[in-house]
Structure 1
Amino acid sequence: MEQISVSPVFVGRSTETDLLAAALRRAEAGDPQTVLIGGEAGVGKTRLVEEFLDSAAAAGAVTVLGGCLEIGAEGLPYAPLATALRRLYRQLGPELERAAAGMEGHLARLLPDFGEADGEPNDEFGRARLFEHTARLFERLAADRTLVLAVEDLHWSDRSTRELLAYLIRTLHRSRVLIVTTYRSDDLHRRHPLRPFLAELDRLRTVQRLELDRFGQVEVAAQLAGILGTEAPDRALVDRIHRRSEGNPFFVEELATAHRQGCPAGLTESLRDILLVRVEALSDETQQVVKFAAEGGSCVEHGLLAAVLDEGEEPLIEALRTAVGANILRPDTDGEGYRFRHALVREAVSDDLLPGERHLINRRFADALEQDPALVGDEVRPARLANYWYHAHHPARALPAALEAARAARRRNAFAEQLRMLERALELWEEVSEDVLEHTLRPYDWAETYPPCSCDAGRHDTSCDRLRQVDVLAEAVVAARRSGERERGLSLAKRGVRLVDEQRDPMRAAWFRMQRARMLGHLDRPGGSAELAYAHRLVADLGPSAVQAEVLALEAAHAMLRRPTHEHLATAERAVRIAREVGAGSVEAHARMTLGSLLADFDDPDQGLAELAAAVEQARALGVPDLTCRGLNNLASLLVQLGRAEEAERTAREGLEAAGSTGLLGNTGAILTGNLAEALIALGRLAEAAGVLDAWAEDPSRDSHHAFLSRLRAELALLADDRAAAEAALAQAVAAGRHEQPQHVLPTVLVSIEIAARWGSPLAAREQILEVLDREPAGQQTLLLLPLLVRAAAVEADARGLPAAGPGRDGVLARIAAAAEGYRPQVPLHQGWARLLDAELARAHGADTAGHWAEAIAPLRVAG
């Protein structure tokens, strides 16, 4: 007679059930909700979720469950979302296909059932598009029904899954969606990657945390009554089991089963013994199956188990039936495999294996999977095979398997998992013989400008045609950058610099230097200019190449944001020529965008605008959305600065539409929103500008503290004469700003000067303009400096005659005038600013006339 260890009665949890029911009601009303359920292993998270999903389905909701898999250090990329989509496909069929219409190529990266993945590049922007289309799919599915998505075991989640979930939680607005997740709180050590994820979600209004407590004695008694089939269990038994289990429902089940088997005193205090006691009571044949299942992963397919054990179908089914009957294994929800009823049991079984025994089992899994790849799904096969060979301690097979798993992760835009596999490959490299490396590794399909061999074209060595350790290191650098692991990327790039012989292979040495410069820029640290200068020296005398063009383009772009000179203008022009010569279209478009901005900086705004516009069209033709958005951003910003605000408004809106349709709002949305608001302010449409900024800030998925946006809020507050709001927004802008870039620094200083002057601190305003003049070389930032110089001169004019303002006043005015000397304004807006400066300087000396102001009004009126 089967002995039931799981209580047929759902015990307690009324508070938690009420909270979930309330969240479901809010989701049904169009207010999407998320509930994060935490608790120690065995406390009943899965039972709570199962009961809730049953009740939600009975109420008419569509429910779907996906679980994170414990494979290696982290799970497979997107595993729970892929499982959930596959189950939705089985539930909804054609409905899901209609909801995915037009997005199948993107969604195929999550679920191959959608067909072939699109041919777009596997870069960080491709991942953003995948996230955007996944969110759109859920919005369509929940248009006329409530959808409940449950994700279990988030403590095993890979970073890509966490980031996709966070994106869904932040961006699903006015959708009838409820997301429920579970995680094992006792596994969250201080540096566990789930901790910052949970902390980030805690700030959102639509997210609730729910921590499951252990059972009290009354609940343990009710659980035992259900398990033992009695209305009133013996009080002494309840006391003993409650004390030994400490109220953990899973341990209550284990101890109740031990009691029914007549061995209540046979258990040690060791947790492993508690967990293994029922396994050890099984026959040897069933124990063997359980051991293999433990090494197979969180869920192991029936066909794979059969191939590995090779004991015949009938004995396997009999052993599995015994293990399921003993509540050690349970059929997977999809009905294609088996998983342990509780992960703690699987861990205990795996830990109880001898090292050689574990290696042998993993070897058999790997061999079986290589002989018949169809035993597991396409999307999980590379990572499963990589982990089997790794735990089999077979470096010669584990290394190429890790590389293949990295390729598969990259194809799915799961860059964090790609990085993990590449780092595993680097770890294994020294353990593999040269002969094996020579015959088993195939070259990586590079998507970056990394040189294809380890020597220049004039000294090609055929040994460079195979994959080398430095190649894997280079791809790991790219994966680190794309996954946002900038510190790790910086370290890997430094390792690459040490590994490459720059005398023999200057181009690859330059490539690694360039990557270091990029990482330093992302981290807002000094040193990027020096790395780019070093890279420039390495490639300066080599023949034209994509690397050489990109080094020059990055050097020019880096300078453009800081202190550009005519030399950098020439560098950008050379980058364009080389990129065009070698056919590096994306690098060429990137360099042309920089060139256009520099031309406008150096007194040729019309040519600069033309070059920028042409670069945007080139990026569109190449199908590179991130470059297109970058170009539209630069173009809108330049149009505002040139006094063409109506065109700037149209361009910024076009950029926001392009970013939204390609999933890039998270990358460029804030600055394009700022461009739009800035254009509206210039046009005098202040309420509309405030609405644009408020809409961005109200979206919980957006960074509302972007330096640019905060500075614009401060400007609007000044125009409304709201000192408190202006000072608060200015403080946010300063805290979030990049302090090296004049495009952020100078307008922010202008706001600060305005606040100081308007509310009675002219000397503080003077101090700030002197700091700027000490830092900014005259004649190189005039386009940004002019408005600041005009306001500083106005402050001095307003303070004329005040005794405290007298000392040093003439010197300040002389420095303001000198900063604008030699500037030849080319467009009406700049001509108007220049005439305004003349008028304010004259007013500061008490010598202004009506003619001064008339000369300023005329060009400003033309500029609108």
Structure 2
Amino acid sequence: MLASMQQISVSPVFVGRGSEITELTDALRRAGTGSPQAVLIGGEAGIGKTRLLEEFLQRACDGGAVTTLGSCLEVGAEGLPYAPLATALRRLHRSLGAEFEAAAAGSEGHLARLLSEFGEADGEPNDEYGRARLFEHTARLFERFGAERTLVLAVEDLHWSDRSTRELLAFLVRTLHRSRVLLVATYRTDDLHRRHPLRPFLAELERLRTVQRLELARFGRREVAAQLAGILGTGAPDHQLVDRILRRSEGNPFFVEELATAFEDGCGAGLTDSLRDILLVRVEGLDEEAQRVVRIAAEGGSHVEHALLAAVLDDDEEALIEALRAAVGANILRPDSEGEGYRFRHALVREAVSDDLLPGERHRINRKFALAVEAQPQLVPCDALPARLANYWYHAHDPARALPTALDAARAARRRNAFAEQLGMLERALELWDQVSEEVLTHTLRPYDWAETYPPGSCDHSPADADCDRIQLVDVLAEAVVAARRCGDRERGLSLAKRGLRLVDEAEHPVRSAWFRINRARMLGNLRRSGDDEEIARAYRLVDGLPPSAVQAEVFALAAGVAVVRSPRLEHLELAQRAIRIAEQVGAHSVEVHARMTLGSLRYDLLGDAEGGLAELTAAVERARQLGVPDLLLRGINNLASMQRGLGRAEEAVRLAREGLEYADGNGLQRNIGNILTGNLVEALADLGQVREAQELLAASELVGLPGSHAEFLDRMGGDLAVLRGDFATAATLLAQARAANRVGQAQHSVPISRLAVRLAAYGGRPLEARAELLAALAEEGRLGYEADVYPLLVEAAGVEADSLGLPEAEAGRAEVLAAIAAAGADLRPQSPLHHGWARLLEAELARARAADTPEQWARAVTELRPTGLPYPLALALLRAAEAEVRAGRRESAAELLREAAELAAARGDRPLGAQIAALAERAGLTLTPAARPAAAAAPVQAVGDSFGLTPRERDVLRLLARGWTNRQIAEELYISPKTASVHVSNILGKLEVGGRGEAAALAHRLRLFPDDLAPAGR
């Protein structure tokens, strides 16, 4: 009705901001090529962010892009999640209709949590994974929109954004990689105090190459003059007026508009210095009735519906329209784009009007809004109703009404997987609890929804106990603990759980107390902090011996599950079996399947029953399929893939990991659980020698992965692949990152990390460092069940000891290290052909480290490893067998072994191993090509050092250097000066391409340049 009214103070021309428009246009162009972009526009209040955005959106629309806009809400926004995105999607839905519905096909049940027009949300649980699914399906919707045309999603006033909105926006920015989407967001810089939650959000996004940040500066004299000319419509304004308004406004465009209006009204520019007075001057120019309407609208929120305003005012409709017409005509209020309500011309004006209200007046107005909404809920959108009502009662200072509505708003936020907003409303309820009478708590609050937080059967009371039928403070705390855990605020969750434990008498309510304990344990584990074992042990003592309950089953299952990745013992096997029996008895189906998966792993780890463990885990996966719980099924597929890979069945592991990734993608969990499935797939592909695909998958995972998600696994895999490329510097960096992420030290991660460290130290010519890494790894507990990782660690560590034979500093302690390696190998239980092959390799490497290996030992290892089809351990065995054959004088046999090893190393892209194979062939005078020569014409073995271009004197120096002699000792032995010895050493280091004397000595021993010099020689 009022949408066409003229707004006199807005300049009809767009002033300045040429460089900003250019940067936005460039970002739009890049997005149009399929490279999604994000632009964050900051500036102080009134600087012109909205005007710049409006101008750009119009130009983008004129250029053929689809644009949509949503604004974050200021007043009444608490507990109302996703508001700007819901508005933006609603506008897209209205403008695109069938095209929008086609893009959303298959995701309606998930997107209903954002847009009520899609009807009822799906029936999936509201848990952490539910939120991940919502985010994934939202990203998929924008990907479909951006497949054929460019989409611009604009969000205003990020400084008022709720946490769920920020997290969803960050997810979109990180995950939209091949879509024609441009995200533009504005925020106030002067609102960002040191602890403002938007600060870390901006810092996180700014690190991404697709994100650009613009800061709008104030206008100079030229822009102010142009703005005044447009507003006043009088051509070039008077110079003195420009100077006065520039001085008073300090170049803030909004203040320029307000001061220009004052000038038109005959006030000159001589307004009071108070900012509030500047903002209120045109409000005070309205008649009394219009001022009353504006004051009431200011408490309605950033946006207030016409019907709601009419219900609150309860005035004659004609009088209300006239008052609104005056407010719109004075450019204080604006009709919104849909014509259903009003917004203030600028948030600063609303703030000034609200701040000018008396305290009692503000409470009274909010009470009127609350009563109107309670009487006619249809006055506000249904998805905003619980939060709006809760906030009106809260700001009305009526705890008895604010508490139940806060709980209702928390439940509504939970149904939308907006756990941060749920937590905020629950904490408000906790704040109000003591202000509400016992009568209200008993008769007004509806019973707590137990099933959402406590599993069935976790109430310690008898069914007849009244306390079990009404909400209690501990119930709110329990829900807040879950909300904090789900939204990732685990520090707050720990604090809330601790408060809950103080309220619960564990002797009277052991099950509730145990529930809080296991939730604390989970959060401590997520935070990689110690103490979770103690919490689980305490929970176990509380429920052991009690009647069966879901909490009891969960405690037992959690205790057994944590042990799997730490130090499993036979008692944990029994514990998993107890958890299964109890879960079956009480109907806790998900807990039962979790426990069965744990049991499968324990049978493999503890009993050495590989086939039994596989069968148990396979059956649990099928049960998870029947239940239809995506995260449970993916846990099973992931564990099954890992177990198959550990047994050497890499092809089956690849199949399972691919299946899991496809399922994760279809259920919105690709960027969550998908990360660890990707890690398993990468590892299995590397085992098979398909390194290029493994590298591509890992690179893609790093692009879309959430920060910190399974970083220890993905970083370590990245380090392993870097070693294959010979990029030791990158591998060392990734090793450090993996160690930092694996602070808890789970064996499934720490053993492969130690192996990577040993390999890097060995390739760097640091045998003592490699030894230290090994001994530290052997000191850790819980290595059983990881034969596929422990065997390679032991084999490669034994290889380092063999390569450093004759190195003086490595001789001390060698016998003890070899004994420790042998003892660790004896503790392992080979359960597959791969394990048996590694066991033969270990025996041979230990013999080589004592200079006692035989060709027959290596031949047995080769024979065991051939059926596995895995290139790496076989190539290593072939190399060592070839070395043994060379020493035995069987050159043709050695050449055949080396050629096969070279082919395997090349196919896998293993450059370091390939270099060792080539070096042996060169030293032995063997060719790696299949062309054969007559045996009689075979070339003799090259002289030691010829392959490096060493002179005879340098070979003599290197022999002594390898014994650990100093330059002076070398000089005395060879009858040369110490200076000449130093020159020879420098030349040797350069020709060997090593960084120091230790590396040169290690290389000489590893390559057996002096095979007759295996024992240290002293003087």
Aligned to 2:833: 828
Aligned to 1:644: 649
Question: Cα gap change, 1:145/1:778 in structure 2, threshold over 3 Å: closer, same or farther?
Answer: closer
Aligned to 2:778: 773
How far off its partner does 1:451 sit? Answer: 5.5
Instruction: Verify: 1:362 aligned to 2:373, yes or no.
Output: no
Q: What amino acid does structure 2 have at the position aligned with 1:790?
A: V
Query: C-alpha distance in 1, partners of 2:455/2:512?
Result: 6
Question: Cα gap change, 1:547/1:704 in structure 2, threshold over 3 Å: closer, same or farther?
Answer: closer
Instruction: Verify: 1:299 aligned to 2:303, yes or no.
Output: yes
Describe the SS at the equivalent of 1:151.
strand
Query: C-alpha distance in 2, partners of 1:370/1:299?
Result: 18
Q: 1:25 aligns with which of 25, 29, 35?
A: 29
Q: Look at both structures and tell me which one has the larger radius of gyration over its CA atoms.
A: 2
Question: Cα gap change, 1:542/1:709 in structure 2, threshold over 3 Å: closer, same or farther?
Answer: same
Deviates more, 1:301-310 or 1:834-843: 834-843
Aligned to 2:931: none
Instruction: Verify: 1:559 aligned to 2:563, yes or no.
Output: yes
Q: 1:687 aligns with which of 668, 672, 692?
A: 692
Q: What amino acid does structure 2 have at the position aligned with 1:807?
A: A
Describe the SS at the equivalent of 2:236.
coil
Aligned to 1:346: 350
Instruction: Verify: 1:376 aligned to 2:380, yes or no.
Output: yes
Question: Cα gap change, 1:823/1:748 in structure 2, threshold over 3 Å: closer, same or farther?
Answer: closer
Describe the SS at the equivalent of 1:187.
coil
Query: C-alpha distance in 1, partners of 2:242/2:79?
Result: 38
Query: C-alpha distance in 2, partners of 1:433/1:735?
Result: 50
Deviation digits for residues 613-660 of structure 1 (CA, Å, limit 9, x no counterpart): 111222221111111111111111111111111100101111111111
Q: 1:736 aligns with which of 728, 738, 741?
A: 741
Query: C-alpha distance in 1, partners of 2:140/2:458?
Result: 44
Query: C-alpha distance in 1, partners of 2:89/2:785?
Result: 55
Aligned to 1:6: 10
Query: C-alpha distance in 2, partners of 1:791/1:90?
Result: 64
Aligned to 2:251: 247
Aligned to 2:198: 194
Question: Cα gap change, 1:59/1:774 in structure 2, threshold over 3 Å: closer, same or farther?
Answer: closer
Q: What amino acid does structure 2 have at the position aligned with 1:788?
A: L
Question: Cα gap change, 1:198/1:829 in structure 2, threshold over 3 Å: closer, same or farther?
Answer: same
Question: Cα gap change, 1:31/1:451 in structure 2, threshold over 3 Å: closer, same or farther?
Answer: closer
Aligned to 2:109: 105
Question: Cα gap change, 1:656/1:703 in structure 2, threshold over 3 Å: closer, same or farther?
Answer: farther
Query: C-alpha distance in 1, partners of 2:115/2:217?
Result: 36
Instruction: Verify: 1:628 aligned to 2:633, yes or no.
Output: yes
How far off its partner does 1:822 sit? Answer: 4.6
Aligned to 1:668: 673
Q: 1:456 aligns with which of 451, 460, 468?
A: 460
Is the Cα contact below 8 Å between 1:455 and 1:504 reproduced in 2? Answer: no
Aligned to 1:233: 237
Q: 1:16 aligns with which of 20, 25, 35?
A: 20
Is the Cα contact below 8 Å between 1:454 and 1:505 reproduced in 2? Answer: no
How far off its partner does 1:706 sit? Answer: 2.1
How far off its partner does 1:703 sit? Answer: 6.4
How far off its partner does 1:780 sit? Answer: 7.2
Instruction: Verify: 1:524 aligned to 2:490, yes or no.
Output: no
Is the Cα contact below 8 Å between 1:154 and 1:182 reproduced in 2? Answer: yes
How far off its partner does 1:759 sit? Answer: 2.4
How far off its partner does 1:782 sit? Answer: 5.4
Question: Cα gap change, 1:145/1:823 in structure 2, threshold over 3 Å: closer, same or farther?
Answer: closer
Residue correspondence of structure 1 range 579-658 to structure 2 within 5 A: 579-602=583-606, 603-658=608-663
How far off its partner does 1:534 sit? Answer: 0.3
Deviates more, 1:771-780 or 1:414-423: 771-780
Unpaired runs of at least 5, structure 1: none
Aligned to 2:765: 760
Query: C-alpha distance in 1, partners of 2:462/2:342?
Result: 58
TM-score, structure 2 normalization: 0.82
Deviates more, 1:782-791 or 1:742-751: 782-791
Q: 1:158 aligns with which of 156, 162, 181?
A: 162
TM-score, structure 1 normalization: 0.97
Is the Cα contact below 8 Å between 1:289 and 1:320 reproduced in 2? Answer: yes
Q: What amino acid does structure 1 have at the position aligned with 2:681?
A: L
Q: How many residues align?
A: 864
Query: C-alpha distance in 1, partners of 2:128/2:580?
Result: 24
Deviates more, 1:555-564 or 1:372-381: 555-564
Is the Cα contact below 8 Å between 1:609 and 1:635 reproduced in 2? Answer: yes
Q: 1:811 aligns with which of 811, 816, 819?
A: 816
Query: C-alpha distance in 2, partners of 1:778/1:329?
Result: 69
Is the Cα contact below 8 Å between 1:71 and 1:384 reproduced in 2? Answer: no
Deviation digits for residues 431-471 of structure 1 (CA, Å, limit 9, x no counterpart): 10010111111123345562668853668522221111111
How far off its partner does 1:698 sit? Answer: 4.3
Is the Cα contact below 8 Å between 1:449 and 1:546 reproduced in 2? Answer: no
How far off its partner does 1:265 sit? Answer: 6.0
Is the Cα contact below 8 Å between 2:675 and 2:705 reproduced in 1? Answer: no
Is the Cα contact below 8 Å between 1:204 and 1:700 reproduced in 2? Answer: no
How far off its partner does 1:701 sit? Answer: 6.3
Query: C-alpha distance in 2, partners of 1:207/1:758?
Result: 39
How far off its partner does 1:404 sit? Answer: 0.6
Instruction: Verify: 1:722 aligned to 2:727, yes or no.
Output: yes
Is the Cα contact below 8 Å between 2:79 and 2:387 reproduced in 1? Answer: no
Q: 2:478 aligns with which of 446, 462, 474?
A: 474
Query: C-alpha distance in 2, partners of 1:860/1:574?
Result: 40
Q: What amino acid does structure 1 have at the position aligned with 2:859?
A: A
Is the Cα contact below 8 Å between 1:451 and 1:507 reproduced in 2? Answer: no
How far off its partner does 1:689 sit? Answer: 1.8
How far off its partner does 1:394 sit? Answer: 0.4
Query: C-alpha distance in 1, partners of 2:743/2:21?
Result: 47
Aligned to 1:278: 282
Question: Cα gap change, 1:598/1:486 in structure 2, threshold over 3 Å: closer, same or farther?
Answer: same
Deviation digits for residues 17-59 of structure 1 (CA, Å, limit 9, x no counterpart): 1111222222222222211111110011111111111122122
Aligned to 2:208: 204
Aligned to 1:217: 221
Deviates more, 1:34-43 or 1:565-574: 565-574
How far off its partner does 1:354 sit? Answer: 0.8
Instruction: Verify: 1:499 aligned to 2:499, yes or no.
Output: no
Deviation digits for residues 773-814 of structure 1 (CA, Å, limit 9, x no counterpart): 233367676564322222222222222232222211111111
Unpaired runs of at least 5, structure 2: 870-1019
Query: C-alpha distance in 2, partners of 1:501/1:767?
Result: 49
Question: Cα gap change, 1:205/1:391 in structure 2, threshold over 3 Å: closer, same or farther?
Answer: same
Aligned to 2:426: 422
Question: Cα gap change, 1:829/1:2 in structure 2, threshold over 3 Å: closer, same or farther?
Answer: closer
Query: C-alpha distance in 2, partners of 1:750/1:143?
Result: 44
How far off its partner does 1:180 sit? Answer: 1.2
Deviation digits for residues 123-143 of structure 1 (CA, Å, limit 9, x no counterpart): 121111111111221222233
Query: C-alpha distance in 2, partners of 1:124/1:3?
Result: 47
Describe the SS at the equivalent of 1:209.
strand
Query: C-alpha distance in 1, partners of 2:156/2:858?
Result: 70
Instruction: Verify: 1:539 aligned to 2:543, yes or no.
Output: yes
Describe the SS at the equivalent of 1:820.
helix
Aligned to 2:1005: none
Query: C-alpha distance in 1, partners of 2:709/2:357?
Result: 52
Deviation digits for residues 259-293 of structure 1 (CA, Å, limit 9, x no counterpart): 22222366321111111111122111111111110
Deviation digits for residues 352-408 of structure 1 (CA, Å, limit 9, x no counterpart): 111110110000000000000000110101100000000000001000100110111
Instruction: Verify: 1:747 aligned to 2:752, yes or no.
Output: yes
Question: Cα gap change, 1:77/1:698 in structure 2, threshold over 3 Å: closer, same or farther?
Answer: closer
Describe the SS at the equivalent of 1:278.
coil
Q: What amino acid does structure 2 have at the position aligned with 1:512?
A: F
Is the Cα contact below 8 Å between 1:328 and 1:345 reproduced in 2? Answer: yes
Describe the SS at the equivalent of 1:125.
helix
Q: 1:863 aligns with which of 864, 868, 887?
A: 868
Describe the SS at the equivalent of 1:666.
coil
How far off its partner does 1:61 sit? Answer: 1.7
Residue correspondence of structure 1 range 313-324 to structure 2 within 5 A: 313-324=317-328
